[in-house]
Amino acid sequence: MYTYVHGGDIYTQKQTADGKAMVDFSANINPLGLPSGVKNAIRNAIKQCVNYPDPFCRELAQATADFLHVDKDWLFFGNGAADVLFRLALALKPKKALLLAPTFADYEKALRSVDCGISYYNLQPKHAFTVQKDILRRITPRTDIVVICNPNNPTGQLTGRELLEHILAKCNAVGAYLLVDECFMDFVDSSRAYSMRNLLADNQKLIILKAFTKTFAIPGVRLGYCLNADGALHKLLHESGQDWSVSVLAQEAGRAALLEKEYLHESYLLIEEERQYLINQLKALGAEVYGSNANYIFFYMEKPVQLKELLHKQGYIIRSCANYHNLGDGYYRIAVKTRVLNRGLIKAIKEARKNALITGTY
């Protein structure tokens, strides 16, 4: 049977035994929820659903290019960033990939679907799970693609610009693609956030992955894209799947989302404040908190064991990271949400600890 490994499973059990709705801390979505402009755009676009969507997402591409100050021909859209990953795998058919461990599971899933061999660069707790210079030695003439998630999921750790530029130079030297996943960069504090976008023009093998799903809280609509300056790769991407993977509703939602400047500003402020609140609370509970530069917190809490299950009983879904490569029991990731919900989760963790102590399972 197929096992779903991601967060966001609000469907298997919709409520607690006593009928309380589950609160999902396992998916890292903008806590402000759907922007009103996006909601209206989706509503207004319903009448256009009688037509096929634009296979080239022309209006969305122009709006995104203007928003990011890039060439619109560098953009390729898909049914969420995950869909773009599978397209890239099919288009590039790499034979050997280097992935971080731990990192987002779908790089491996997409690459394995085209029989690509995977090597892992194991991130170390002693370096707080950050990428170190020794990764350069792991990029060899046999490497076809290197994937760096920045900030990384689940750790929330950033790879510095200087090191990334060295990684890019090494990839260029050995003829490998460098895929930098910046899906969570929009949530990083402005003083630390940066993109590799300005290097696209001079690096045809640099690919950047981005998502609307997380930034604008539309994972159910599905909209993501990649940026790359090589026209030949774009042709391959179009040839590697259906022409209509981005629905009319998703294209209109994306265009409307890009107008939501106030929403973005408010969400940065909220996340900054709530991230710090959660970090402080978790540390006070004895957790080791790592990275956490994005809209999620990555931490290690040895006890109570089975924290995920204990919180689930209280109506909170969190992401156990035990099934990531190079991690084990005790590692968790939680989304940053609003204060009321964050406070509720912290209270539930305290409750779980108390019950574990009483029942002698702590």
Ligand X SMILES: Cc1ncc(COP(=O)(O)O)c(C=O)c1O
Q: Does 182 participate in binding ligand X (rule CB under 6 A)?
A: no
Q: Among all residues, whose Cβ is closest to ligand X?
A: 80
Under 8 Å between Cβ of 349 and 310: no
Among 82, 176, 229, 335, binds ligand X (CB under 6 A): 82
User: Does residue 248 belong to the site contacting ligand X (CB under 6 A)?
Assistant: no
Q: Does the protein bind ligand X through residue 80 (CB under 6 A)? A: yes
Per CB under 6 A, 245 contacts ligand X:
no
Q: Which of 224, 254, 291, 315 binds ligand X (CB under 6 A)?
A: 224
Q: How far is CA 156 from the centre of its chain?
A: 10
What H or E segment, with its residue span, contains residue 75?
A: strand 75-78
Q: For residue 225, what are the CA distances in angstroms to 60, 72, 164, 274, 326?
A: 11, 12, 21, 28, 28
The region of 11-19, 77-85, 157-165, 166-174 touching ligand X under the rule CB under 6 A is 77-85
Q: Which has the closest alpha carbon to 106: 159, 153, 158?
A: 153
Asked whether position 108 contacts ligand X by CB under 6 A, the answer is: no
**Given the complex with ligand X, which of 97 and 183 has the nearer CB atom?**
183
User: Which of 30, 143, 153, 247 contacts ligand X by CB under 6 A?
Assistant: 153
Q: Please select the residue that binds ligand X; options are 42, 111, 206, 211, rule is CB under 6 A.
A: 211
| Site membership for ligand X, residue 24 (CB under 6 A) | no
CA distances (Å), origin 95, targets 42, 115, 144, 341, 348: 40, 7, 6, 44, 46
Distance from C-alpha of 332 to C-alpha of 289, rounded to nearest angstrom: 10
183 binds ligand X (CB under 6 A): yes
In the complex, the smallest distance separating the C-beta of residue 362 from ligand X, rounded to whole angstroms, is 32
What is the DSSP secondary-structure string of 118-182?
A: EEEEE--GGGTT---GGGGGG--TT--EEEEESS-TTT-PPPPHHHHHHHHHHHHHHT-EEEEE-
Count residues near ligand X (CB under 6 A): 12
Q: Which residues contact ligand X by CB under 6 A?
A: 80-82, 104, 149, 153, 181, 183, 211, 213, 219, 224
